[in-house]
Amino acid sequence: MISGDGTSRNGATDLTEERADAVFREACETAGLDPSGAELLRLGSNAVYRLASPPVIVRIARDPEALEEMRRAVGVARWLESEDFPATRVMPDVEQPAFVGGRVVTYWRSAQDEIEYGRLDELADLLKRLHWLEEPEVLGLPYFDPFAKGGIRSVVWTASGRRTGSSWRSAPGGSTRSTTGWTSCCPSG
């Protein structure tokens, strides 16, 4: 199954199926992986392939300038693995991100063969656990304040129709936690 058509957006360099396939084969050779029987899953902001064996996902960035972004993604995945957090894992023993055929390539363990969606309570538990982790400063993760002007704060309303303020603060490591609980953000009256 392929979703997306690989067309250029916002001035990004074209990544056609033919070009992606050439980079994919070279990337597999570079990493010592067998590309035979692989499936192109998506061709959009990235070209995403699933190898037949072993279960590996090869992701090729459309933007050749995505090296820093992919370094951060690989770093975050390795950090989450060190925290035993259930997230996608990078392939061990493969230098990444790789720069192959003028593209940035990453290699991931395929989590599953079938699409399976978690329940909302499972997602809520994972998000809570994730936000309580203290990320290493070396990752250089950008600060994100969902309650800043224009963010979620602009759509949080009380029952009376007034926009509310919040008592949110940045916790060590940059995650956002409530100082007095959810009700400080969303009072009932």
Per-domain residue ranges for the chain? 17-109, 120-179
Instruction: Report the C-alpha dihedral over residues 24, 30, 36, 42, rounded to 10 degrees.
Output: -20
Confidence at residue 81, expressed as pLDDT on a 0 to 100 scale: 95
Confidence at residue 128, expressed as pLDDT on a 0 to 100 scale: 93
Give the long-range contacts of residues 147-152, CB within 8 A, separation 24 or more.
Answer: 147/176, 147/185
CB neighbours of residue 101 within 10 Å: 17
Task: Write the pLDDT tens digit of every residue in 91-130.
Answer: 998 999 999 999 999 999 987 777 788 899 999 999 999 9
Q: Give the Cα separation of 166 and 168 in Å (integer).
A: 6
What average pLDDT does this structure show over 13-22? 90
Full-model pTM: 0.69
Share of the chain above pLDDT 70, in %: 70
The encoded tokens of residue 25 equal 């084969």
The encoded tokens of residue 92 equal 């061990």
Residue 44 confidence (pLDDT) above 70: yes
Find how far residue 15's CA is from the centre of its chain: 20
Could you list the beta-strand ranges (E) of 23-124: 39-43, 46-50, 56-61, 98-100, 103-109
Confidence at residue 175, expressed as pLDDT on a 0 to 100 scale: 42
Residue 183 confidence (pLDDT) above 70: no
Confidence at residue 110, expressed as pLDDT on a 0 to 100 scale: 85
Q: Average pLDDT of the chain?
A: 78
Q: Which residues on adjacent β-strands are paired with residue 31? A: none
**What CATH topology corresponds to 17-109?**
Phosphorylase Kinase; domain 1 (3.30.200)
Question: Which DSSP letter does residue 176 get?
Answer: E
- 18: Cβ–Cβ under 8 A, 6 or more apart, which residues? none
* Of 11-15, 53-57, 173-177, minimum mean pLDDT range: 173-177
Residue 151 confidence (pLDDT) above 80: no
CB neighbours of residue 78 within 10 Å: 16
Q: Give the Cα separation of 94 and 30 in Å (integer).
A: 9
What average pLDDT does this structure show over 81-94? 93
Residue 40 confidence (pLDDT) above 60: yes
What average pLDDT does this structure show over 35-58? 93
CB neighbours of residue 94 within 10 Å: 18
